[in-house]
Chain A
Amino acid sequence: MPSLNDYLLLSAILFCIGTAGVFVRRNLITILLSIEIMLNAVNLTFVAFGRSLGGPDGQIIVFFVMTVAAAEAAVGLAIVIALFRHRESLNPDTFTALKW
């Protein structure tokens, strides 16, 4: 049986992969995908602790995190579409002006 620590380690590794993706990639869509990886790592932590403490609270928080992730993805992708229309680019380095 894998222990709680194993799950926490796996979740830490996934979270760091997401962090590295945000830093390293220069594509808005991949950056949003990296944020999803981080949210999933946190979800895994919640479920593991919920299983460890007993009771449904861990899974209920996962439910809320997923709702926020869905809202974030919808608004974030709408912003990406609006930015792409203006600049024909997905590279965040091109979006340096506050107003144009």
Chain B
Amino acid sequence: MTLFYLFGGVAVITSLLVIAQRNPIYSVLLLIASFGALSGLYILLDAPFAAVIQIIVYAGAIMVLFLFVVMLLNAPHEDTDLDIRVHPMLHPGAMRLGAVLAVALVGELIWALTNSNVSGSFPAGPVVSVATIGRRLFTEYAFPFEVTSVLILVAMVGAVVMAKQDSAAKGKR
């Protein structure tokens, strides 16, 4: 229980700091810390496979991509006409409404979950091994697995095409 509160607290606090930072580099680094805490929670849930791919794929690959783009664009600060000194009540309506809606969503979810009668503790069982997951992926989930590889190929080609320097637009400028 202590570990759950530790990892959960770290995940919530770092996630809050991610959306509170004004410099995207700090946001990305804090999100990596949040992913580390989530990986600890997966270990607590007896899910070593999820914990390991959380670190390798999320913290290792996706966040490096984000960091790379942040450094490539070299635009560390949010360019809005809103200064940090503007009083929160003077922010535009959509922003205030969105924040209120998010807080309401927290309230609703907490109310629903504390009033639900889901069975409390987890049943005791063996830890699911990576071998089981691999076998299941290539038998029962073989079709989604193959579709995933096509999806990644499409995303790769799409990313290259969209990020390519547009020579026609460059000549126009």
Report the tally of A-B residue pairs with Cβ distances under 8 A.
Answer: 245
**Total interface residues on B, using CB and 8 Å?**
85
Q: How far is the CB of B168 from chain A (nearest CB, A)?
A: 13
| Alpha-carbon separation in the docked complex, A52 to B47 (Å) | 12
Taking a contact as CB atoms under 8 Å apart, the answer to whether A1 and B66 are in contact is no
Q: How far is the CB of A66 from chain B (nearest CB, A)?
A: 5
**Given contacts A12-B113, A67-B151, A93-B80, is CB(A59)–CB(B49) below 8 Å?**
yes
**Given contacts A16-B105, A74-B155, is CB(A51)–CB(B53) below 8 Å?**
no
Q: How far is the CB of B95 from chain A (nearest CB, A)?
A: 6
For A67-96 the 0/1 string (1 means CB < 8 A from B) is 111111111011111101110011101000
Taking a contact as CB atoms under 8 Å apart, the answer to whether B69 and A77 are in contact is yes
Taking a contact as CB atoms under 8 Å apart, the answer to whether A12 and B125 are in contact is no
Taking a contact as CB atoms under 8 Å apart, the answer to whether B122 and A25 are in contact is no
Q: Please provide the chain A residues from 3 to 57 with a CB less than 8 Å away from any CB of chain B in the complex.
A: 3-10, 12-27, 29-30, 32-34, 36-37, 40, 43-44, 47-48, 50-52, 54-57
Taking a contact as CB atoms under 8 Å apart, the answer to whether B78 and A90 are in contact is yes
Q: How far is the CB of B46 from chain A (nearest CB, A)?
A: 6
Q: How far is the CB of A69 from chain B (nearest CB, A)?
A: 7
**Given contacts A23-B95, A36-B31, is CB(A18)–CB(B15) below 8 Å?**
yes
Q: How far is the CB of B120 from chain A (nearest CB, A)?
A: 4
**Given contacts A32-B66, A44-B41, A60-B141, is CB(A14)–CB(B123) below 8 Å?**
no
Tell me, yes or no, whether B156 is within 8 Å of chain A by CB: yes
Chain B contact residues: helix, strand, loop or mixed? helix
Taking a contact as CB atoms under 8 Å apart, the answer to whether B19 and A17 are in contact is yes
| Alpha-carbon separation in the docked complex, A5 to B118 (Å) | 7
Sample (20) of A-B pairs whose CB atoms are under 8 Å apart: A2-B4, A4-B118, A7-B45, A8-B118, A10-B12, A12-B113, A15-B105, A17-B102, A20-B103, A27-B24, A29-B24, A30-B19, A40-B58, A47-B50, A50-B128, A56-B133, A75-B159, A77-B65, A81-B72, A89-B75
Residues of A within 8 A of B (CB): 1-10, 12-27, 29-30, 32-34, 36-37, 40, 43-44, 47-48, 50-52, 54-60, 62-64, 66-75, 77-82, 84-86, 89-91, 93
Known: A10-B8, A47-B47. 14 other contacts (CB 8 A): A3-B122, A5-B120, A16-B105, A17-B16, A18-B15, A26-B82, A33-B27, A47-B42, A48-B45, A50-B47, A51-B45, A70-B57, A71-B154, A77-B163
